[in-house]
Structure 1
Amino acid sequence: MNNAIELKFNHHGLIPAVLQDYYTRQVLMVAYMNKEALDKTLETGKATFWSRSRKELWTKGETSGNYQEVVAIDYDCDADTLLVQVLPKGPACHTGETSCFYRNLYTNEEKATGNMDIIHKLADQVQDRRENPVEGSYTNYLFREGVDKICKKIGEESAETIIAAKNDSKEELTYEASDLLYHLTVLLNNQGVTFDDLFVELTKRHK
């Protein structure tokens, strides 16, 4: 930690800390830290807070086992709020939800057309199909047929993606590339590789 930073704790000696999933970028929860909680977080690598109701330190997950392992801590322009990026070892919310922000107040349907989160949702759905097969599911059919069938489909979808690009059709290329990405997701899952593994490799290459 940069000791030259002068964080601005409020008159109660607290600073709000926003927890964010390091990989998915999903906001998980908001809590408060005092100096002691921040020091313990840095010492243990597990997100630790000050409970305003119990008047004591608490490490997220010490009861449930759903620890939040800290990757990085950023602070805002006024130095009065922390952004804590974590690797969650379970749901952050006491309700069992992944995030405390699981209830929607408003969505602009015209602008809510999707983002990178859909990649994680796709991977999660493929994993769910593997663990909880559904009759008539194409994904389960691919898993039953095994790696040879999945790879055959990868080859077919790759060829169709190339043809779409050669046809100079954005719409066609978007459709075929989505098919390719879906089948690649199934292949990765079948072989025990996650998108997080890919992120690690891509990050190493970028550096």
Structure 2
Amino acid sequence: MALLHRATLHPTKLDLLTTWLPGRPWYQGPTGVEMVSRGAYRFDDPAGEVGIETILVAAGDGPVHQVPLTYRAAPLQDADEWLVGTMEHSALTHAVLSGAGQAEQYFEVDGRREVRPPTMTIDVDGGGDVPEVGVVRRVVDEDDTVIVTDAVELVVVRRPVAGAVGARGATLSGTWDGQSTAVPLAYVRTR
């Protein structure tokens, strides 16, 4: 469950993504144009240590890009090159392989919870065993980001579109405003 706080953020996540995203090798679209959110989803970390939120954004009429963000109590060691977009692979991997749904988000107002409706719908076809993920052995950050660990290979689809065929395995798919057909967002294969 994700507790959201009513707060003013400066810069905003979209401000950060507007400057960060065009520098990624998998980015396609205009530069110097503000990113617009198309939807987002969250997962709970099974260990309760890391929050993960994935935002789907686009610049102008450019394609939708998927950007996982993590929230941590302390910086992730040896991850300075990923100021925006680092992800705790075990939370996403666990969610896809276990078939877990997205985390419920809510605001606390005057001592009571107000549920925040999701901005997109996700579906996972997992539901199987979740292995110990192990050590990250390799990361390939191209059109899709592939994270290879001791036990799994996680593929994050960076430009999710309908009809895309990608890696096979347990699949996370989603729909959002303007995208009524479910599209693949991530795949997990055990090794």
Instruction: Tell me the TM-score normalized by structure 1.
Output: 0.21
Larger gyration radius, structure 1 or structure 2: 1
Greater percentage in helix: 1
Larger relative contact order (C-alpha < 8 A, sep ≥ 6)?
2
